[in-house]
Structure 1
Amino acid sequence: MSNIAYKSDFTGDPKQHDTSKFSESMTGTCLCGSISVTIHDKELFGEKPRGHFHCANCRKVSGSFVSSNMAIEKDKVTYMDKNGTLKVYDDWATGSGKRVKRLFCGNCGSPVMSQPDIFPHMYMLKMGMFPRIPKPECESFAEHRHDWQGKHDGLKQYALIRGQKKLGE
């Protein structure tokens, strides 16, 4: 057992952030703090299109077995790049064949958002950068889920793309 003591905010315990603090907006940052993203939405913790994405590209970008994203209109988001570290990767290896711009911090490597050409008015925000993650409402590419993952009860499960064929249909 380690004797290392951690500051209470170091681990980023989301329960220390009451959701009522985010009634108008919520700001998150990349790991080094160079990039900040603010969601301006009074319905942030209401019914928003957000979910877990199991496609290979989203998994690679997240560095995990799933990517937690929120699709939101661009006019409800502001972002700042105070140190000029925002980088873009143009991903053309997508199921639609259309480009997805993948934005990340060139300093710390944190994923920030995706901008899919098929939804030009939307950002896909990477929810891991925010102090609280609203409950997901669906899983996309659920048929790509690993067998050991199990299922998330209460979430709509789309075989591939959100809004299309559900898993098991």
Structure 2
Amino acid sequence: MSGSCLCGAITYTLSSAPLKRFICHCPNCQKASGSAFMTNFWYPKDAQTFTSGANILKTYVDTTTKSGTPLHRSFCPHCGSPVRLTTAFAPLSTFVAVPAGTLDGGKESEMRRAGWQPDAEYFIEDRAGCLGALEGVAQVEGREK
């Protein structure tokens, strides 16, 4: 599987299937994505390899998260697309969250397949009022510990 930022300056490959697919409704993910929520896939940290643009990748250390855990939000400096989220704090330090919208594949990508659902929705207390809970999906106040 592969992916890229909007302008294509940063590209990456993923060497494994996602371990978890989730939607985050926290205020910081709303602001970082410019949307009502952010859809991310968790992979083992070493599964994401940058094939171009690693030298231009910028990282914002988000220290105002609701969980209190600083989150490293890496993005393209040209188009602003987020391409990687990591933290140094266990147990999440062994994972990388990849924004699902950056995955390649068009209609064939995993996120766009009919019947696709995330495994969990986090920070549901911050979910936009116009959105309901996804049926059959774990609903978590806050985030997984």
TM range (shorter): 0.7 to 0.9
**What residue in structure 2 maps to residue 61 of structure 1?**
32
Structure 2 length normalisation: TM-score? Answer: 0.84
**What residue in structure 1 maps to residue 139 of structure 2?**
157
Q: If you compute each CA radius of gyration, which structure gives the higher value, 1 or 2?
A: 1
Q: CA deviation at 1:150?
A: 1.5
1:124 aligns with 2:106: no
| 1:36-55 equivalence runs, <5 A | 36-41=11-16, 43-44=17-18, 48-55=19-26
Contact conserved, 2:57 with 2:74, CA < 8 A, in 1? Answer: yes
Q: Secondary structure at the match of 2:101?
A: helix
1:107 aligns with 2:78: yes
Look up the equivalent residue of 1:49 and give its one-letter code.
K
| Larger relative contact order (CA 8 Å, sep ≥ 6) | 2
- Unaligned 5+ residue runs, structure 1? 1-25, 164-169
Structure 1 length normalisation: TM-score? Answer: 0.73
Percent of counterpart pairs with the same letter? 34
Look up the equivalent residue of 1:103 and give its one-letter code.
S
**What residue in structure 2 maps to residue 141 of structure 1?**
123
Contact conserved, 2:133 with 2:139, CA < 8 A, in 1? Answer: no
For these two proteins, the number of residue pairs brought into alignment is 134
- Unaligned 5+ residue runs, structure 2? none
Q: CA deviation at 1:80?
A: 3.1
Q: Give CA deviations for 1:71-110 in whole Å, capped at 9, x if unaligned.
A: 2111222113437331110111112333211100000111
